[in-house]
Amino acid sequence: MIRGGNDVEDRDVLLSDVAVTLVPAAEGPPVAIVNTQRIRVSEAGVGKIVREAMGEAQRRFDLDVRSVESQLRDGSADVRVKVKKFMMAAELGVTVELTATPQGRLRIRIADLRAPAGLPVAGLVDRFLETLGSRPGVYPVGQRTVEVDANEVLASRGLPVRLEQGVREARITPGFVEIA
């Protein structure tokens, strides 16, 4: 979500350093080839993205999601979710890491999973990642790891946009996630 505001710091998502070449298409509008780009997502923006993902998990797994919190640290994002199913309530935690692959994909890895003993959270997370992996441009590549091919995701949505180099860099720091 992009929202208004007077300062760059007020933005959930900031797109900068953009260079685009328009290439005629056989049919329809020209294709925008993005030669360079830098996307910076604020901690508040990351929180909104995580809440949206949890809304999908809530619908898919019939969970009552009570709260979602995220905190960005050097190299990782910590997410805490309070859920309730039937009569049981729990706080779950995950640590997520992002990297760029040599193939230009964004690698998302769940580095740590925290939950009360006896809850089948690992299975739920694995099923959620399988669900993500069934979408165009999202590939399971290891234990609790998926890679996202931005060009395939854009094409699957019918958008006439291509990233010339894919994802070259991904980092998490306190306050923001940056992808170039």
pLDDT by residue for the chain (180 residues), tens only, comes to 444 454 555 689 999 999 999 999 888 889 999 999 999 999 989 888 888 877 777 777 777 777 788 899 999 999 988 888 777 788 889 999 999 999 999 999 999 999 888 777 788 788 888 888 889 999 999 899 999 999 999 999 999 999 999 999 999 999 999 999
At a CB cut-off of 8 Å and minimum separation 6, what does 153 contact?
135, 136, 137, 138
How crowded is residue 30: how many other Cβ atoms within 10 Å of its Cβ? 11
Among candidates 31, 86, 88, 43, which has minimal Cα distance to 68?
A: 43
pLDDT at 67: 79
pLDDT at 2: 44
pLDDT at 27: 87
Are 108 and 141 in contact by the 8 Å Cβ rule? The answer is: no
pLDDT at 53: 77
3-state helix, strand, coil split of the chain in percent (to 5) is: 25, 45, 30
pLDDT at 49: 85
**Dihedral sign of CA atoms 132, 134, 139, 145 in order:** positive
